[in-house]
Structure 1
């Protein structure tokens, strides 16, 4: 029995993670940088939507979205031209936008690109934003978080599907990442097998960005001693993701018991909760630090507050305040101020 060709393996993996029946009648914006991962994702989705064996024509649509940061001058414009030609070849509408071209940190660049995607989704009435993150991206993300002192949820890596944002303007949109089980080398081999070109970003070889250092220096060093480090870490991430998914109903119950109001965010002190709520502690472990921290993280997301600089140390400080320990006032990264009164905590972000 012969093995399926490399491109078919990639197609099958994407279809398994995200069956075409789930999006072919809806709108999908596909973020495409011109790199191998996003090119493979775009080609796969186009082929899946246009399958001749489908019982009926698709009622949905695909749109390609390319954000040109203009960081690399001619190379950036060549990437944009490559995506324009690819979209034309595949007969898929294209949306593009250019950034300022000035040097930015990773988070600012990501925010600019994210706002562009949000605008494109609104304009077209799309439901999904499809992004081509691979298994290697997931492993690099977890290593990055680990070195910043992440908690258990950070070790769960990138979610395959998640709301675009928790604020009302983005809650109807869903980010889909159906390539998290595919390795970077596997994706490139598949594209070569069908003579499909892609663009290589030379800036990925620079270690100016920490994620690039993880990719170019840390992981190769790890693999010199543990050749299967990437798939092994990926399996650990999958276990953490299953743990986090199982925890979601518990977090829902915690918030239902503890949160008084959303604006301003006000939470009951855990050391003041008693009576009927106390009898439900076995079902809702209010004083379990892991549950509380993941619930607090959700509050941050809903409020649109920055999570990047919130390490495990900061979450632990907030949990201690909820339990009646530590100071009565605290300022956290992102200018989030917490004040504790006899019955509750109030959290406000100062701009």
Structure 2
């Protein structure tokens, strides 16, 4: 028997470790575009999952944005069937009419389709092929957008996505390893032209910025950026736990948050409390920017009798009798506080940053 190629062994080990943390015996699904990363992941899952007590399936999404995309999706499906994956789904999505730019719209459509298929199969996890290189790119994009610790934490190894655990087994695996694994296994990956399109910020990071950093600082820069994400994620976990407790302590029995409780918190915890509370009020995470949270924080730390802070979705928060309170729209109208169209646009607009991104405080997903 020929020895197993080291990249193949490394990817199988990464998948085995990821599956060990899942509920026993449930099916897992691999999101596969046909690129080297997801193809290597799918091949590893087809081998490892049955030996770990799971069935493995594959789902590929046709965004319909490129000529031949339907044929590419069918080719991935045919390969998956030959590879012995237990289920194979091809999903066509409609990207037109979704909010955001084409990259954000495609991402939203893709993840919606993936989680729907995972839910239909009762999958215990949806596996994606994001690598160490993707993580390094994500950290650089977060830095460029002025993100805080949450953005610098990059992509988590695991998170909940519409009730489905999204797991990224390959965040410690390099893109070079996935390509080498495909060569060793005789697989021919699809080359997505969007990955080299300079219209996208991530593509420019990949083609122009990272090579310069590697040349100037050495190949270890990729590992260092990925390690930064892991360290920031650990710090975020601790801060989030403190913020959860602080939010509970700041609640007033009749609604709103006690200003005195908030004012005594460290700034890093207080702004997390305010962000979490804004989400509770209905502010969409992707639309809630740093300046919205700063406006809320000013009601606590820079109070001079000013009017309400404006949040995405037409939400307003005012300070009254020592509390932060959500203001129903009809109350403000009765007070004669009509908001100008220009002010509303500023209040509800997304933060200006590097094109091709999401909320600078949150995860930037490729």
Q: Same fold (TM over 0.5)?
A: yes
- Matched-pair contact (CA < 8 Å) for 1:328–1:341: no
Residues 144-196 of structure 1: per-residue CA shift (max 9 Å, x gap): 122222111111111111111xxxxx34x211111111111121112212212
Compared CA separation, residues 346 and 68, structure 1 to 2 (3 A): farther
For the structure 1 residues 299 and 316, does the alpha-carbon distance in structure 2 shift closer, same or farther, using more than 3 Å as the test? Answer: same
Q: Are 2:265 and 1:287 equivalent residues in the alignment?
A: yes
- 1:315 is aligned to 293
The SS at the match of 2:25 is coil
Instruction: Pick one of 74, 77, 85 that aligns with 1:81.
Output: 74
Q: Residue 119 of structure 1 corresponds to which residue in structure 2?
A: 116
Verify the 8 A CA contact 1:144 1:211 in the aligned structure 2.
Answer: yes
Q: Note if 1:270 corresponds to 2:259.
A: yes
User: 2:247–2:273: 8 Å Cα contact kept in structure 1?
Assistant: yes
Q: In structure 2, what is the equivalent of residue 242 of structure 1?
A: 234
Q: TM-score, normalised by structure 1?
A: 0.81
Alignment check: 8 A CA contact 2:126 2:167 kept: yes
Deviation for aligned residue 1:197: 2.2
Q: How far apart are 1:286 and its partner, in Å? A: 5.2
CA contact (8 A) 2:137 2:206 kept: yes
Contact (CA 8 Å) 2:139, 2:152: kept in 1 or not?
Answer: yes
Q: TM-score under structure 2 normalisation?
A: 0.78
Match of 2:126 among 112, 119, 129: 129
Shift of residue 21, structure 1, vs aligned partner? 6.4
Q: Does 1:110 align with 2:107?
A: yes
- What does residue 139 of structure 2 align with? 142
**Larger CA deviation: 326-335 vs 85-94:** 326-335
1:206-243 CA-partner distances (Å, limit 9, x unpaired): 11111111111222222221223211111222211121
Query: Match of 1:139, SS?
Result: helix
Aligned pair partner of 1:191 in 175, 178, 182: 182
Q: 2:149 aligns to what SS in structure 1?
A: coil
Counterpart among 344, 347, 351 of residue 323 in structure 2 = 344
Alpha-carbon distance in 1 for matches of 2:311, 2:90 = 37
Matched residues in 2 for 1:62 and 1:288: separation?
A: 46
Asked if the contact 1:153–1:294 (Cα under 8 Å) also holds between the matched residues in 2, the reply is: no
**Aligned-residue offset at 1:309:** 4.7
**Corresponding residue of 1:221:** 212
CA distance in 2, matches of 1:308, 1:127: 26
Q: Identify if the C-alpha distance between structure 1 residues 127 and 216 changes in structure 2 by more than 3 Å, giving closer, same or farther.
A: same
User: Structure 2 matches for 1:49-68, cutoff 5 A?
Assistant: 49-51=49-51, 58=53, 60-68=54-62
Aligned mates of 1:114, 1:174 — CA distance in 2: 12
Residues in 2 aligned to 1:204 and 1:88: alpha-carbon distance in whole angstroms? 26
Query: Secondary structure of 2:190's match?
Result: coil
Deviations 1:4-57 (A, max 9, x none): 6221122123323x1446355113222111111111211212211222xx6xxx
Equivalent position of 1:277 in the other structure: none
Number of the residue aligned with 2:29:
29
Q: Could you tell me how far apart the structure 1 residues matched to 2:95 and 2:30 are?
A: 23
The alignment yields a C-alpha RMSD, in angstroms, of 3.0
How far is the alpha carbon of 1:304 from its aligned partner?
A: 6.4
1:70 aligns with 2:35: no
Shift of 1:297: 3.9
Q: Distance in 1 between matches of 2:264 and 2:34?
A: 47
In the alignment, the residues of structure 2 paired with residue 325 and residue 70 of structure 1 have an alpha-carbon distance, to the nearest angstrom, of 51
Q: Contact between 2:5 and 2:181, CA under 8 Å: does it hold in 1?
A: no
